[in-house]
């Protein structure tokens, strides 16, 4: 088939690579978000998908909106059979959805209908799921509600951050997306409607969602930290300033600390929760680089009775 791939961040690059390498299909063009300011100089930088496409000599389309008439006209001129999508980052209008004969097929990082929305991996970890995966489905105008072509499953490991898990899913999902394109081309793969039961939503994680509640159980604290790493970053308050929590570890044997209460040892920092303590392993104070929590505590000279959470 002739394909137009739509995607923007680094997590979409493995799928683009898989389609380029498959040899069965022609990636005629790539659609991605416009260049965005980045770094201290705030200079405009192309998306990771745009950079990869340019390296491969593929035409790159960067419409400000997928409703842009010039973009829609160019898409019609290219005449794709199908448009595979991975984390493109913009809602597609019906007029765009109708252009390719086989529609737009999205690689979504959950086992649909679970975790429809922008942050499926973060919500899966924060909710304590043990298994997740990726799904390919036909995009329709509802939120991730289209019929499903295929899935792969992935175990969520006890120390996985959303970054860890998303990286594994990006590579597992790239093979799934390529196989889905093959099945559509062969006519051997049919999309199956999602069940009406088991629908959960995964809206974007806000900075406020990432604030740790020390009255919650230790397992919940650990899940919030892992689910919000690397972005937007779990955090708490210490001496009126925000302290980012990069990595923690539950300590079931320690139950003597009140929620938010600090206990500083020679090489350890424990914090009380609503159940048992967690150990702070890595933190990041405002204006500082990430550091070991024990080093942060020594530098902060934490006094007896001080706590986290404000």
Q: Please report the DSSP string for 179-209 in residue order.
A: HHHHHHHHT----BPPPSSS--B-PPPPTTT
| Known binding residues for (6S)-5,6,7,8-tetrahydrofolate | 110-113
Query: Would residue 128 be called left, alpha or beta, if left means φ above 0 and alpha means ψ between -120 and 50 degrees?
Result: left
CB 133 within 8 Å of CB 37: no
Question: Residue 293 and residue 309: Cα distance in Å, rounded?
Answer: 16
Q: Taking the CB of residue 44, how many other CB atoms lie within 10 A of it?
A: 10
Q: Which residue is it, tokens 């498959």?
A: 22
Nearest to 105 by CA among 68, 142, 149: 149
Angle subtended at Cα 144 by Cα 224 and Cα 52, rounded to the nearest 5 degrees: 80
Helix (H) or strand (E) holding 54: helix 48-55
| Known binding residues | 110-113
DSSP state of 18: H
């Amino acid at each position: 088939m002739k394909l137009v791939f739509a995607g923007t961040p680094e997590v979409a690059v493995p799928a683009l690579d898989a389609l380029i390498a498959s040899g069965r299909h022609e990636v005629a063009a790539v659609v991605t978000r416009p260049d965005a300011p980045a770094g201290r100089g705030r200079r405009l930088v192309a998306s990771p998908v745009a950079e990869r496409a340019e390296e491969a000599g593929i035409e790159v389309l960067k419409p400000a909106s997928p409703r842009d008439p010039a973009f829609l006209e160019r898409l019609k001129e290219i005449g794709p059979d199908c448009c595979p999508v991975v984390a493109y980052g913009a809602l597609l209008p019906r007029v765009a959805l109708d252009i390719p004969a086989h529609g737009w097929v999205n690689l979504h990082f959950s086992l649909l209908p679970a975790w429809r929305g922008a942050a499926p991996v973060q919500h899966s970890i924060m909710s304590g799921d043990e298994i997740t995966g990726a799904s390919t489905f036909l995009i329709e105008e509802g939120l991730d509600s289209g019929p499903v072509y295929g899935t792969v499953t992935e175990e969520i490991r006890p120390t996985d951050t959303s970054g860890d898990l998303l990286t594994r899913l990006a590579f597992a999902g790239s093979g799934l997306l390529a196989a889905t394109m093959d099945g559509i081309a062969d006519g051997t793969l049919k999309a199956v409607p999602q069940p009406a039961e088991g629908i959960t939503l995964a809206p974007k994680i806000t900075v406020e969602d990432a604030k740790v509640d020390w009255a919650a159980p230790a397992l919940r604290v650990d899940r919030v930290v892992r689910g919000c790493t690397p972005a937007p970053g779990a955090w708490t308050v210490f001496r009126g300033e925000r302290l980012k929590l990069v990595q923690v570890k539950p300590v079931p044997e320690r139950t003597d600390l009140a929620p938010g209460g600090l206990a500083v040892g020679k090489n350890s920092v424990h914090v009380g929760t609503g159940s048992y303590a967690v150990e702070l392993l890595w933190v990041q104070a405002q204006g500082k680089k990430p550091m070991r929590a024990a080093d942060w505590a020594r530098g902060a000279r934490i006094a007896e009775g001080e706590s986290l959470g404000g």
